[in-house]
Structure 1
Amino acid sequence: MPSTVEFPFSDDEALPKILITLSHADYSVSANALLDTGSTVNLLPYDIGLQLGAVWEEQTVRLPLAGNLAKVEARGLFVHVQIANLEPVRLAFAWTQASQVPLILGQTNFFREFDVCFQRSQRTIEITRF
């Protein structure tokens, strides 16, 4: 049975963001994440990965990034993500060595796990997990 949560789409922000809780290695961090349908991957800033107890040297899968992050090294990291009261889900992230990048939820694999409806005129974002 699908579960849906609704978030406000703030007029103060041009981009859709939601509050999520990330968990890894017995650590949890709450952060605002950008919903980016144009991003190929989920992107995790370096400092959030460290707060989650991840160790850079232990992540052996290297991921090439494109665009303005093409020169930044990234490694694969699986993290559990909780969105409001929805069931937590394990998502794959490109954990980048840059901390000044946003936390991004992209096509691989956030938008494969959730249906998202942007209703800008109604100032809402609906997220459904099946």
Structure 2
Amino acid sequence: MLLIYNDVSLNTGGLLDTGASVNVLPHEIGLELGLNWDEHNTEVILTGNLAQFQAKGVILSAQIEGFDSVTLVFAWTQAQNIPLLLGRVNFFQAFDVCFYGSQLIFEVALSSTKFKLQ
């Protein structure tokens, strides 16, 4: 995945986390992208293992190979040595992900708006 902030881009990997409420950006990746902690003032409250760390909301462009770039919102945490997490807000809103556990693979597709009449 290619993350883009202003004119800086960084090729990185991430973990799909169906249990994560939000996308989580590790502190060191934010610094590599040129983010300045003091310039971001939207505080985000994290839970679980990351609850002890301060986090701020940031908006980045992201491009996954084969797809157009999308806007992703991240909780940029001060936690060190954690993976980039892709969670329900808003990775799983931008993409449909199908897991095929027996085959140990998953498939990613751009989310399509679906309407259901009741």
TM norm structure 2: 0.90
Q: Give the structure, 1 or 2, with the largest relative contact order (CA under 8 Å, sep 6 or more).
A: 1
Task: Provide the C-alpha distance between the structure 2 equivalents of 1:122 and 1:101, rounded to a whole number of angstroms.
Answer: 27
Going by fraction, where is strand more abundant, 1 or 2?
1
What residue is the counterpart of 1:96 in the other structure?
A: 77
Q: Is the Cα contact below 8 Å between 1:25 and 1:54 reproduced in 2?
A: no
What residue is the counterpart of 1:11 in the other structure?
A: none
1:115 equivalent in alignment to 2:100: no
The residue type equivalent to 2:12 in the other structure is: A
Structure 1 unaligned spans of 5+ = 1-19
The residue type equivalent to 2:107 in the other structure is: E
Q: What's the RMSD between the two structures over aligned residues? A: 0.9
SS at match of 1:57: helix
Structure 2 unaligned spans of 5+ = 113-118
Identity level (%): 46
Task: Provide the C-alpha distance between the structure 2 equivalents of 1:78 and 1:96, rounded to a whole number of angstroms.
Answer: 13
Task: Provide the C-alpha distance between the structure 1 equivalents of 2:43 and 2:22, rounded to a whole number of angstroms.
Answer: 13
Task: Provide the C-alpha distance between the structure 2 equivalents of 1:82 and 1:37, rounded to a whole number of angstroms.
Answer: 20
What residue is the counterpart of 2:56 in the other structure?
A: 75
Q: How many residue pairs are counted as aligned between the two chains?
A: 111
The residue type equivalent to 2:52 in the other structure is: K
Task: Provide the C-alpha distance between the structure 1 equivalents of 2:25 and 2:75, rounded to a whole number of angstroms.
Answer: 6
TM norm structure 1: 0.82
